[in-house]
């Protein structure tokens, strides 16, 4: 489903991703683990199309189509969803207005009919109920005054409504207590399906106790250093990232 | 005698000759003397630093003459409408017959002719805005307008719309004044519509005087629109609040040309409360100046000002806000905020908030910011599927709508939101 080949990305003069190659199959949950400052968030932003990154080499294919030639909104319509490490607050923009605009923009881009209001309301209500998103949160401006946990739940609610092909979770566990983490993880787990892939980016093993990965990839020095099964995460938990960083020093 | 220094002076002087015997001669003469002293304001006048009226008005358009045009203005809301067209109050176009009990309406011309003391002293409003040359000019030259008196204790359900409209096909000058007096404990919702639907560059100087007796309340929405590149509009709002009186106001400013909206408010009774909020939608070469002076005279007053300028193309926004707290006005609570959103490299915003505090036990603050659309917010919306222009529109709409939150009238809120949406859809489609 997702094929990243020899990706080189710079910000200004500094090269951050240095020939990253990664393959994720449909239905797979792939964990990307690595020390801070190694380019994990850069990877998530580059896949979703944020400005400010120079892609000097390589390609990112989603179901065979190179994403790099598309705008962020076009990538979203093709099925890319980024759950943000820090979802932004947008005061003044009503949450429901935003949700409807986003769903219909994607539908239009795919040549589908826009959702009628009753159907839209029903979908939001169902998704909100399963994620513990209150009516009060839906009535407020988007993410405004939300706690960290509420923001993450709102992001997962959007993922549930937008039904992406590829869900990228960027340090979703940061700032969450165990209870909030469990709710968010349950929401993600409910969306696992044979035709959907996830990229779970995290520093800690903790999140992977709740979202069980199929594959684990160690990222350091701007590329994937090692890939393996879930046991690799446990190994990292025990030994840390030292061995991957030490290589760099050598 | 007045020195006839410029073409503008000569023209204005001839207007005064025409108007000086049309009621309230002493009021007019005093105002004309004050204006003659001050002259049209140039940028050297501090309160007009960002709006060069002297240059813009170098050639005053002829004074409007009574037209009998039957203008059909689209009705945006379910209001009782009082129309002043081309400088003349038009009862024939207004909803006079449908006015509820407790509301008395007459033309300014009739009111000036009758010269009732309490009306005249309210009209003169000698205690506020006296130093402003354009207001003096309005007093000296006022042609007509409407006087509305709302009886003590009356709660007027229907919104009253004061529409001041220019419809002439050639350039003209209008000087109009409306007065709304609310008796003790009276309550009303007003819409002030200032517009020029046709394409002539008119020069309109209007004033709305609100006089609130103790515990009266006004909800006011001002909508300023229309105009062309060379039109000039000076719209003054004079508010006098007695003890426990409240004004909750919002202004939406759009359209074209040079616009100056100035608010002079005096909180002249204990526990008076004033809200002056507004949003400007700037496009093309709109120049939109909002200048306000909120004067706290008595204790326990509260004032809130939230203004937002959304400026595209080469438009220019100005916000000058001054909150004065007099020595006796202890426990005053004032907060003023101006935020601007620049949507183009050519747009300009001038912010000048000021506090003048002469009492020692007060809580007053102000803030002014100026920025562009937030990149993180834009990316967030794009990453959810919204195309760039739609994402921008949603953020701009949010920025504008926040200023309307204090409005309680849902119908008015909807009307204003629709105006913002219409402005934005023009931006998306070009």
Residue B345, exposed/middle/buried by CB under 10 A (0-12, 13-18, 19+)? exposed
Rounded Cα distance between B327 and B311, Å, is 38
Tell me, what's the pLDDT at B75? 73
Q: Are A87 and B383 inside 8 Å of each other by CB?
A: no
Mapping DSSP onto H, E and C, the string for B37-50 reads HHCCCCCCCHHHCC
- Let me know if A226 is exposed, middle or buried by CB neighbors in 10 A (0-12, 13-18, 19+): middle
The CA distance from B246 to B248, in Å, is 6
Mean pLDDT of chain B: 93
d(CA A90, CA A142): 5
Q: Is it the case that residue A205 has pLDDT exceeding 80?
A: yes
Residue B103 · residue B160 · CB < 8 Å: yes
Q: Mind listing the pLDDT tens digit for each residue in B139-152?
A: 999 999 999 999 99
Asked if B401's CB is within 8 angstroms of A92's CB, the reply is yes
Which residues on neighbouring strands pair with residue B218, listed in sequence order? B188, B247
- Hey, are the CB atoms on B400 and A87 less than 8 Å from each other? no
Question: Cβ–Cβ of A97/B394 closer than 8 Å?
Answer: yes
B372 to chain A, any CB pair closer than 8 A? The answer is no
Which member of B375, B382, B395 has the closest CB to residue A90?
Answer: B395
Question: Which residues have C-beta within 8 Å of that of residue B305, sequence separation ≥ 6?
Answer: B275, B276, B277, B292, B294, B321, B323, B335, B336, B337, B338
Q: What's residue A249's pLDDT? A: 44
Q: A102, B388: Cβ pair inside 8 Å?
A: no
Residue written as token pair 């003048």? B356
CB of B394 less than 8 A from some CB of A = yes
pLDDT tens per residue across span B375-419: 999 999 999 999 999 999 999 999 998 888 888 888 889 999 999
**CA nearest to A28, candidates A63, A2, A65, A6:** A2
Confidence (pLDDT) at A64? 93
pLDDT digits (tens, 9 = 90+) for B157-192: 999 999 998 887 788 999 999 999 999 999 999 999
| C-alpha–C-alpha distance, residues B140 and B19, integer Å | 8
DSSP A16: E
Dist CA B398 CA B112 (whole Å): 45
CA distance A85 to A75: 19
Decide which of A203 and A46 is more confident: A46
Please give the share of chain B, as a percent, with pLDDT higher than 90: 81
Distances in Å between the Cα of B304 and the Cα atoms of B35, B277, B337, B412 are 31, 8, 8, 20
Are the Cβ atoms of A90 and B384 closer than 8 angstroms? no
Number of Cβ within 10 Å of residue B322's Cβ equals 17
Percent of chain A past pLDDT 70, that is, above it, reads 98
Closest chain B CA to residue A91:
B398
CB distance from B400 to chain A under 8 Å?
yes
- A84 CB neighbours in chain B (<8 A) are 380
Tokens at residue B42, please? Answer: 């140039």
- Which residue numbers of A have CB closer than 8 Å to B's CBs? 48-51, 71-73, 75-77, 80-82, 84, 87-88, 90-93, 97-98, 101-103, 105-106, 109, 141, 158, 162
Nearest residue on chain A to B392, judged by CA atoms? A93
Q: What SS3 class is residue A186?
A: helix
Which of the residue ranges A185-199, B111-125, B259-273, B360-374 would you say has the lowest mean pLDDT? Answer: B111-125
Q: What is the pLDDT of residues A111-145, one digit of tens each?
A: 999 999 999 999 999 999 988 889 999 999 999 99
Cβ contact B244:B271 at 8 Å: yes
| Confidence check: pLDDT of B230 > 80 | yes
Chain B environment of A48 (Cβ under 8 Å): 383
Contact A76 B388 (CB under 8 A): no
Does pTM top 0.90 for this prediction? no
DSSP character at residue A241: T
The answer, for B398 touching chain A at a CB cutoff of 8 Å, is yes
Out of A50, A81, A98, the one facing B379 most closely (by C-beta) is A50
Which one of A71, A102, A146 makes the best mutation probe of the B interface by having the most chain B beta carbons within 10 Å? Answer: A102
pLDDT higher than 80, residue B201 = yes
Count A/B contacts: CB-CB distance under 8 Å. 77
Query: Would strands B144-150 and B103-107 be described as parallel, antiparallel, or unpaired?
Result: antiparallel
Question: How far off is chain A from B18, nearest CA to CA, in Å?
Answer: 50
Q: What is the pLDDT of residue B3?
A: 52
Q: What's the 3-state SS for chain B?
A: CCCCCCHHHHHHHHHHHHHCCCCCHHHHHHHHHHHHHHCCCCCCCHHHCCCCHHHHCCCCCCECCCCCCCCCCCCCCCEEEEEEECCEECHHHCCHHHCCCCEEEEEHHHHHHHCCHHHHHHHHCCCCCCCCHHHHHHHHHCCEEEEEEECCCCECCCEEEEEEECCCCCCCEEEEEEEEEECCCCEEEEEEEEECCCCCCCEEEEEEEEEECCCCEEEEEEEECCCCCCCEEEEEEEEEECCCCEEEEEEEECCCCEEEEEEEEEECCCCCEEEEEEEEEECCCCEEEEEEEEEECCCCCEEEEEEEEEECCCCEEEEEEEEEECCCCCCCEEEEEEEEEECCCCCEEEEEEEEEECCCCCEEEEEEEEECCCHHHHHHHHHCCCCHHHHHHHHHHHHHHHHHCCCCCHHHHHHHHHHHHHHHHHHHHC
**Rounded CA separation B178/B107 (Å):** 9
The minimum CA-CA distance between A215 and chain B, rounded to whole Å, is: 26
- Give the ipTM of the model, two decimals please: 0.95
**Closest residue in chain B to residue A97, using alpha carbons only:** B394
Helix segments in A22-167, DSSP class H: 40-48, 72-77, 95-109, 117-131, 135-139, 148-162
Asked if B381 has any chain A CB less than 8 Å from its own CB, the reply is yes
Interface membership of B371 toward A (CB under 8 Å): no
| Facing residue for A92 by CB, picked from B385, B387, B399 | B399
Distance (Å) from the C-alpha of residue A225 to the closest C-alpha of chain B?
29
A197, two tokens: 């892939």
Average pLDDT over residues B11-20: 96
How confident is the model over A51-80, as pLDDT tens digits?
999 999 999 999 999 999 999 999 999 999
- Residue A131: predicted pLDDT: 86
Is B397 within 8 Å of chain A by CB? Answer: yes
B421 close to A (CB below 8 A): no
| Residues written for chain A | 250
CB-CB neighbours of A12 under 10 Å: 8
Query: For residues B349 and A249, which has the higher predicted lDDT (pLDDT)?
Result: B349
> What does the pLDDT average to over B342-354?
96
């Amino acid at each position: 489903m997702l094929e990243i080949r020899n990706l080189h990305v710079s910000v200004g003069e500094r090269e951050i991703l240095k020939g990253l190659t990664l393959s994720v199959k449909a239905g797979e949950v792939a964990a990307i683990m690595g020390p801070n400052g190694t380019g994990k968030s850069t990877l998530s932003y580059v896949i979703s199309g944020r400005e400010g990154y120079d892609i000097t080499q390589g390609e990112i294919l989603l179901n065979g189509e190179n994403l790099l030639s598309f705008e962020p909104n076009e990538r979203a319509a093709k099925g890319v969803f980024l759950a943000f490490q820090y979802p932004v607050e947008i005061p003044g923009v009503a949450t429901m207005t935003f949700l409807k605009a986003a769903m219909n923009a994607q539908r239009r881009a795919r040549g589908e009919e826009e959702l009628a209001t009753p159907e839209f309301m029903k979908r939001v209500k169902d998704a909100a109920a399963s994620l513990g998103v209150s009516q009060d949160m839906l009535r407020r401006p988007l993410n405004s005054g939300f706690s960290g946990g509420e923001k993450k739940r709102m992001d997962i609610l959007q993922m549930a409504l937008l039904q992406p092909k590829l869900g990228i979770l960027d340090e979703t566990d940061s700032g969450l207590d165990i209870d909030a983490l469990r709710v968010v993880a349950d929401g993600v787990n409910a969306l696992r399906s044979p035709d959907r892939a996830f990229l779970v980016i995290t520093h800690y093993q903790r999140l992977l106790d709740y979202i069980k990965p199929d594959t684990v990839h160690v990222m350091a020095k701007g590329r994937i250093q090692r890939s393996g099964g879930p046991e690799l995460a446990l190994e990292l938990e025990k030994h840390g990232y030292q061995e991957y960083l030490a290589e760099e020093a050598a | 005698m007045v020195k006839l220094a410029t073409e503008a002076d000569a023209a204005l002087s001839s207007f005064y000759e025409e108007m000086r015997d049309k009621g309230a001669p002493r009021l007019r003469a005093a105002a004309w003397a004050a204006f003659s002293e001050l002259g049209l304001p140039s940028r050297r006048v501090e309160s007009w630093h960002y709006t060069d009226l002297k240059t813009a008005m170098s050639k005053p358009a002829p004074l409007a003459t009574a037209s009998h045009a039957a203008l059909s203005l689209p009705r945006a809301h379910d209001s009782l409408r009082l129309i002043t067209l081309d400088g003349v109050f038009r009862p024939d176009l207004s909803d006079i017959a449908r006015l509820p009990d407790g509301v008395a309406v007459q033309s300014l011309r009739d009111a000036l002719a009758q010269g009732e003391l309490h009306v005249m002293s309210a009209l003169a409003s000698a205690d506020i805005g006296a130093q402003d040359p354009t207001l003096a000019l309005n007093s000296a030259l006022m042609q007509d307008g409407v006087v509305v008196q709302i009886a003590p204790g009356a709660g007027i359900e229907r919104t009253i719309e004061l529409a001041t409209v220019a419809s002439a096909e050639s350039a003209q000058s209008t000087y109009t004044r409306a007065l709304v007096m609310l008796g003790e404990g009276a309550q009303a919702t007003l819409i002030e519509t200032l517009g020029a639907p046709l394409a002539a560059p008119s020069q309109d100087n209007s004033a709305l005087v609100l006089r609130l007796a103790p515990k009266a309340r006004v909800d006011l929405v001002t909508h300023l629109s229309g105009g062309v590149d060379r039109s000039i509009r000076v719209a003054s709002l004079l508010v006098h609040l007695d003890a426990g009186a409240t004004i909750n106001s919002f202004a939406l400013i759009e359209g074209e040309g040079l616009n100056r909206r100035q608010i002079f408010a005096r909180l002249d009774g204990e526990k008076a409360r004033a809200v002056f909020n507004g949003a400007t939608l700037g496009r093309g070469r709109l120049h939109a100046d909002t200048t306000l002076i909120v004067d706290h005279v008595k204790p326990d007053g509260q004032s809130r000002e939230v203004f937002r300028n959304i400026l595209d193309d080469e438009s220019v926004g100005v916000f000058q806000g001054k909150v004065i707290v007099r020595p006796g006005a202890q426990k005053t609570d004032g907060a003023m905020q101006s935020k601007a959103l620049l949507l183009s490299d050519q747009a300009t915003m001038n912010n000048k908030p000021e506090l003048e505090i002469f009492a020692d036990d007060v809580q007053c603050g102000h803030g002014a910011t100026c920025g562009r659309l937030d990149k993180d917010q834009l990316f967030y919306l794009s990453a959810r599927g919204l195309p760039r222009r739609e994402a921008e529109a949603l953020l701009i709409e949010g920025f504008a709508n926040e200023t309307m939150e204090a409005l309680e009238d849902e119908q008015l809120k909807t009307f204003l939101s629709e105006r913002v949406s219409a402005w934005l859809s023009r931006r998306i489609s070009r």
